[in-house]
Amino acid sequence: MLTALYADKNGEIYDAPGYAAAGRIGKDTLLLTVEDLIPMPEGAELMYLPGRSSIGAKDGQIMSIADDLTAVAAVLPVGYTRTHLPAFKSIQSAPQLPLYGYTAVALYQDQLYVAAVPSDNNAKWHPYNYNTPEIKKLVKRVKKDLPGNRIVEQVAGCSLKWHCCTAQNLFYRRWEAGIPTSPACNANCFGCISLQPSECCPSPQSRINFIPTAEEIAEVGIYHLSNAPEAIISFGQGCEGEPSLAADNIAAGIGLIRSQTKLGQININTNAGYTKGIKKIVDAGLDTMRVSIISARPEVYQAYYRSDYTLDDVKASIRYAKEKGIYVSLNMLSFPGLNDRPEEVAAWVDFLSETGVDMIQLRNLNVDPDAFLAIMPDQHNKPVGVRKFVSVLQDKFPSITIGSFSHYVAKSGE
């Protein structure tokens, strides 16, 4: 039997013999099966959910194990897509949960299993590659190499305080490194990781409070692209707003970079709502673009992003980038019980047919499940499940790569 887990009042986690493990898809609680689960991957962590009692099934009935025993969830490393949320019963005064991707977890044959599927090879993003003992020394080295550069100061703080992997890559001189540029945003995402209203949960990062100059952008960009293997510089980080709002400085910075080096890949992570800015950045010499998106249906999209642009603006930006030969990925925020609703699946098929994107990056949405569902439009039909949703996309769009993070796109001659 798949056995439910719980945490006691001291935060110690135990299994609950006699109680079968349950999970959730949207608001629906159901028993987990062996086919739903994989062994908990290295780098995953267990968390308990305050104000929420653990749920299991006994004699075929789903129930709370005990009101004073707290529900437990797993948080997955990059490269794994969850298929079920944790099952729990909230007390009336339950606090809103911090911004993590809560996943159902169970005990099976004396091992921990999670409700997820592997979606990418996470070798570059495995936790053992980050937060190594020498990171402080490497930060000092880059600060010495690029003295006074405010971007370096920003990502140094992100590396050491917030443990941001993309920030740390600048100091490790490898792979994808972030260049934050914009304190402003044209959306008000419910799950924003750098800016939250005071009544909500704490943001896991602090937003940049300045706009870097083109020269600062170019200095960091040239430094990284000239030194790192499979080098990518990315505008649009967790510690900023919408980078296309800083299009003038980014475009000028790209021009300076490409006047000095043709190496590496220049990427933007964006909501793509400000098409004028996207066009300017694309025309400056952008290589790849990753578009954050949660739904292909306007009413659902707006419920989450609460933006001053529309989904049609996003489509226009994608079409322009594709016309200019840009490799376009979707950063598809994944939530069991939302993306896999039949009406959502149909809308995604239309969206992908219309835009012709190259890749879908599935990212577990970091959010309190109940708080998120409370702002979403009601579902019309029972979800088909995350596995089925991904299978439909793969079958209908075999040319689209499905993964979890940006891949280095080699240029001709490399």
pTM of the model: 0.93
CA atoms within 13 Å, Cβ hemisphere of 24: 20
What string of DSSP letters covers 182-229? -S--S---TT-SS---TTSPPPSS----S---HHHHHHHHHHHHHHST
Q: What is the pLDDT along the chain (414 residues), one digit of tens a residue?
A: 899 999 998 889 999 999 999 999 999 999 999 999 999 999 899 999 999 999 999 988 999 998 889 999 999 998 999 999 999 999 888 999 999 999 999 999 999 999 999 999 878 988 889 999 999 999 999 999 999 999 999 999 999 998 999 999 999 999 999 999 999 999 999 977 655 444 444 445 577 899 999 999 999 999 999 999 999 999 998 889 999 999 999 999 999 999 999 999 999 999 999 999 999 999 999 999 999 999 999 999 999 999 999 999 999 999 999 999 999 999 999 999 999 999 999 999 999 999 999 999 999 999 999 999 999 999 889 999 999 999 999 999 999 999 998 999 876 556
Cβ count near 68 (within 10 Å): 10
CA 198 – CA 183 distance, rounded (Å): 18
302-to-189, 296, 318, 373 alpha-carbon distances in Å: 9, 10, 18, 14
CA 193 – CA 6 distance, rounded (Å): 28
The label of the residue with tokens 């490898």 reads: 174
Query: Fold for domain 127-403?
Result: TIM Barrel (3.20.20)
| Structure token digits, residue 297 | 């249906």
Q: What is the domain partition of the chain in residue ranges?
A: 3-118, 127-403
